[in-house]
Chains A and B, each alone.
Chain A
Amino acid sequence: MKIAMTVNGKSVSRDVPDNTLLVEYIRDHLRLTGTHVGCDTSQCGACVVHVDGRAMKSCTMLAASASGAQVTTVEGLATSKDELHPMQVAFKENHGLQCGFCTPGMIMTATDMVARYQGQGKELTEEAIRHELEGNICRCTGYHNIVKSIVDGASKMTTA
């Protein structure tokens, strides 16, 4: 079936099988390989993208369900080629990654949680960040620097 949506601000359309997952549509059909697949059980969160402004696991929804939606992947976060998104800068500066495999999902989850907390006027404490990272698994860092990066990224996003 023909599935059209807006990905990173660009209208796209592809003819794909009905059982195509959103992550397969993004990676295999649009060739945007920043979104990762780290597990087969919807647990790891490496595939998190924003669908209509909300963080979702692109491995746990059909591409057809996102038909007509606004999708943002990690490639679409930065506003220009020369300047990273403040959250990406924070992960770089705070050593928030080692192998980097989980990082796209971490960053998409992080930007979603910061936007949500700031939108509701709630304080994003370190404890809240750890709770919010429930659905993202990192096998290298022990999370400490990821949490530090998000604290920093959140303040960068406020001042940005």
Chain B
Amino acid sequence: MYETNFHSVSSPQEAEAILATATDAKILAGGQTLIPTMKQRLAAPSDVIDLSRAEGLRGVTITKRKVMGVIKADGGETVTIGAMTTHAEVAANAELAEVFPAMCRLAGNIGDPAVRHRGTIGGSVANNDPAADYPAALLALAATIHTNKREIAASDYFQGMFETALQEGEIITAVSFQAPAAGGYGKFPNPASRYAMAGVFVARSKDGAVRVAVTGAGENGVFRHAGLEAALTADYSANAVDGVEVSAEGLMSDLHGTAAYRANLIKVMAKRALA
């Protein structure tokens, strides 16, 4: 690993100040991608800014919709997850399990236990690995990414492989979404890396809109699948997936599988997401 200057900050504002003055500073969240990348000398930030002690970035909050100060019984919960919340914390959150257990299951199947104890949702979303799990969930849930500067809709945020709408000096502080009426995630992990070869997140919002997002398979990162969305809007069931044409165009071909193989995996994973 190349030399670097380590900073531990107590707030995103403090991190912002360092980002503004250092030559090439990087934010360190859980570090489960950044540290291995630095070890391989594929990244050489002049400064590393550790957010693990920053206040207010950790935890899951669920707020119920209120009308005239009265909590509505029809649900309408908003889930907010702090950027520095670890995968293990999301997986084990009892309140989240009550309103949307699929998110807990997704978090509980990222990497391995040691990675889940350290890796964070903010780090995953900032990195936008084309085979990461959270981007599919956030896109399918029409989530909002909160930063120190603004709020960004997931559909504007994820811009391709490792590409996001984040600008210089921008730090993710939380993500939030409306708990859907139904939803699930099917992932076929690569047997060696455990990253998704195809991961499909299906969500039906409380107003009936169905969104389907695919990770791991696209040549350009996470994407929504219009054909699956149309079929599942008409009939929200695994059987509805059968009639959908999933094209291999734009999908990845590598030593692990061809684009046609991944196209088939998308259908199989969509069914598992609905099972």
Contacts and interface: CB of A to CB of B under 8 A. Distances in A.
Chain B interface, DSSP helix/strand/loop, else mixed: mixed
Interface in A18-63: 18-19, 21, 40-42, 45, 48, 51, 54-57, 59-62
A65 B88 CA distance: 18
B5 A135 contact: no
Interface in B37-55: 38-40, 48, 50, 52
Chain A interface, DSSP helix/strand/loop, else mixed: mixed
Nearest to A134: B112
Contacts of B52: 65
A120 B92 contact: yes
B32 A18 contact: no
Contacts of B36: 41-42, 60
Given A18-B3, A19-B1, A19-B3, A62 B114 contact: no
A132 B8 CA distance: 31
A65 B32 CA distance: 13
A109 interface: yes
A17 interface: yes
Given A1-B6, A18-B4, A60-B118, A135 B31 contact: no
A64 interface: yes
A90 interface: no
B8 A45 contact: no
Contacts of A42: 32, 35-36, 115
B28 A65 contact: yes
A112 interface: yes
Contacts of B194: 134
Interface residues of A, number: 30
Contacts of A62: 6, 28, 31, 35, 48, 50
Nearest to B31: A61
A67 interface: yes
A48 B115 CA distance: 10
Nearest to B38: A19
A68 B40 CA distance: 27
Contacts, number: 81
B117 interface: yes
B48 A48 contact: no
Contacts of A113: 113
A55 B117 contact: yes
A61 B8 CA distance: 13
Name the residue in A55, A59, A60 with the highest tally of chain B Cβ atoms < 10 Å from its Cβ: A60
B114 A56 contact: yes
Contact of A109 (B2, B48, B50, B114): B114
Interface in A62-103: 62, 64-65, 67
B59 interface: no
B227 interface: no
Nearest to A119: B92
Nearest to B39: A40
B118 A57 contact: yes
Interface string A130-149: 00101110000000000000
9 contacts: A41-B36, A48-B114, A60-B31, A60-B32, A60-B35, A60-B115, A64-B8, A134-B113, A135-B113
Given A42-B32, A61-B31, A62-B35, 9 more contacts: A18-B6, A19-B38, A42-B36, A54-B88, A60-B114, A61-B35, A132-B113, A135-B112, A136-B112
